[in-house]
Chain A
Amino acid sequence: MSLAPKLAFHDLDDEALRILAEPKEGEAAFSPACRSAVLEALQGLRAHAAVVAAAVASASDRDPDESFAP
């Protein structure tokens, strides 16, 4: 168990990479430092998303109660 799960760089979304690296007209252009920070944040999010997907898959046969009722 780790507080900072990591995924490989190649798991990042192609479109996200394209927008950040090669913005089209009308899309903001970002500095190398910004691109680097965004890609790092995306890596973190991808890792968290993988953890969530695994947890949901393992609980997929349940019918959870949506209410907050005590």
Chain B
Amino acid sequence: MTDALAIAADVRAGRRTAEAVTARTLDAIARLNPHLNAFTQVLADQALSDARRLDAALVAGAAAGPLAGVPFGVKSLFDVAGLVTLAGSVIRRDAAPATADAPLVGRLREAGAILVGLLNMDEFAYGFVTENAHYGPTHNPHDLTCIAGGSSGGSAAAVAAGLIPLSLGSDTNGSVRVPAGLCGVFGLKPTLGRLDRQGVFPFVDSLDHAGLFARSVTDLAVAYDLMVDDRPGSLAADLDAKAARVLRVGVLGGWFVLGAFPEVLESLERAAKALDATPGVELAGAAAARSAAFCLTAYESARLHDRDIASRPGDYDPAVRDRLLAGARLPDDVARAARAFRPVFRDAVRRVFERFDVLLAPATPCPAPGIGQATMRLDGEPVSVRRNLGAYTQPISFIGLPVVTVPIGRPGFMPVGVQVIAPAWREDLAFAAARRLEVLGVAAAHRPAVFA
């Protein structure tokens, strides 16, 4: 599988048909997905039918979209017309099928992309590991004994393994950035509210973002351009020019390196050096922001599931059920306090951005832990894997800032990701710095040895 733009260029030029690309993709999924468990549902017949329809339209002289013939997958919480939106659960199996595609899915299809399947996730997006009790764990393509991260683990693993060049996911506390980092691909979590969440099964209304994964910054930018409503012009078209400009870059210290593994710190240093970044930038209140995100997540998600968790607790993934039950007992004043802290932290960060265009931070404290691994050591202390993989991502999504996660090139080693964080609504700055790291050869989505 090549990158999305190369596939689209081939299909537009008639060098490959969309049907041939789709058939090859489906063959690869059939061979490799049993090892990965990235896809939970493959839409083979529909994908081939869509591809043939596109080929026929192109032969008849129709204009080819920017993603003509590009295979893509979506996290199983996006609505796809005619399918039940399971959101990684079994409790929704009896729900009515979606009557329309989620708008973001529709945008990619309108651009000529071919939807080939739905991707595994933590149940209802509540987790950082994608060890789903109903559908099994998604395996990291770089080491099948390790987790892919979550909650968009299937979306990241499928792109990392080269099965598809593009996928959709969601990020509430780190669910794009954690798996992107652990699987070694590029991930975008845009500004809160930037991308349409209609048709995306909710988790935490005040924190949910839609996002995406790709193997290059340019693919990420082209897909992002297609999905944005409120920004004139093309981010992708200006990307190389913006990447060539000198940016003011800071590296977050304090909370954002607490307990980080040596290879994580080394990767952060490589990115910082390439961008001539200022080290040791402090975001005052980051620990409290993380705690506030934790509380708000528990509080809001529990209320969303209030009826089902009371009547059908046995139908939930136990890891999710237990946290929903705990969240249901949180008093309202905890949520009020968490919400009250949000503008306080946002203002503090905004002041830091007066000195910097982008900030760098690790995506995770460590490379991918093993599947089934309950604890890891951070700062000398044994802590829960499930609760702490998002320690560095939660403060950032709490205030909705845009982030491009870049994989720091470490061929032969487990991937490590770095968050490139920009001020609200300035995705262009995060993309520019990410593209510069890619051009300099610091960031790259290396193909895992077993899937090369």
Report which A residues bind B (CB closer than 8 A).
Answer: 1-5, 13, 15-16, 19-20, 27-28, 30, 34, 37-39, 41-42, 44-45, 47-49, 51-56, 59, 62, 64-66, 68-70
Contacts and interface: CB of A to CB of B under 8 A. Distances in A.
Interface stretch (B48-56, B90-98, B108-116, B286-294): B286-294
Interface stretch (B145-153, B244-252, B376-384, B406-414): B376-384
B322 A1 contact: no
Closest 5 CB pairs of A and B: A64-B343, A55-B288, A41-B326, A48-B291, A16-B329
Nearest to B353: A70
Nearest to A57: B337
- The secondary structure that dominates the A interface is helix
A47 B344 CA distance: 20
Interface string B357-399: 0000000010000000000001101011001100100000000
Interface stretch (B169-177, B178-186, B419-427, B434-442): B419-427
B258 interface: yes
Contact of B344 (A28, A56, A69): A56
B323 interface: yes
B93 to A, nearest CB: 20
A51 B395 CA distance: 13
B103 interface: no
A44 to B, nearest CB: 7
13 contacts: A1-B255, A1-B287, A3-B258, A3-B381, A15-B329, A34-B318, A34-B325, A41-B322, A52-B341, A56-B337, A68-B346, A68-B424, A69-B425
B28 to A, nearest CB: 39
Interface string B325-350: 11101110010011011011011000
- Of residues A13, A16, A27, A55, which shows the largest number of chain B Cβ atoms within 10 Å of its Cβ? A55
A20 B325 CA distance: 9
Contact of B292 (A16, A47, A52): A52
Given A34-B321, A51-B287, A64-B346, A1 B258 contact: yes
Interface residues of B, number: 52
A41 B127 CA distance: 13
A66 B321 CA distance: 33
A18 to B, nearest CB: 10
Interface of B: 191-193, 254-255, 258-259, 285, 287-288, 290-292, 294-295, 298, 310-311, 313, 318, 321-323, 325-327, 329-331, 334, 337-338, 340-341, 343-344, 346-347, 365, 378-379, 381, 383-384, 387-388, 391, 400, 423-426
A68 B193 contact: yes
B379 A2 contact: yes
B258 A38 contact: no
B310 A13 contact: no
Given A3-B378, A4-B381, A49 B337 contact: yes
Contacts of B325: 20, 30, 34, 38, 41
Given A1-B255, A1-B258, A45 B298 contact: yes
A2 to B, nearest CB: 7
Contacts of A44: 294, 326, 387
B389 to A, nearest CB: 11
A65 B351 CA distance: 12
A52 B334 contact: yes
A54 B291 CA distance: 11
A52 B378 contact: no
Nearest to A66: B343
A19 B325 CA distance: 10
B310 A49 contact: no
B271 to A, nearest CB: 22
Contacts of A30: 313, 325
Given A41-B323, A42-B329, A68 B191 contact: yes
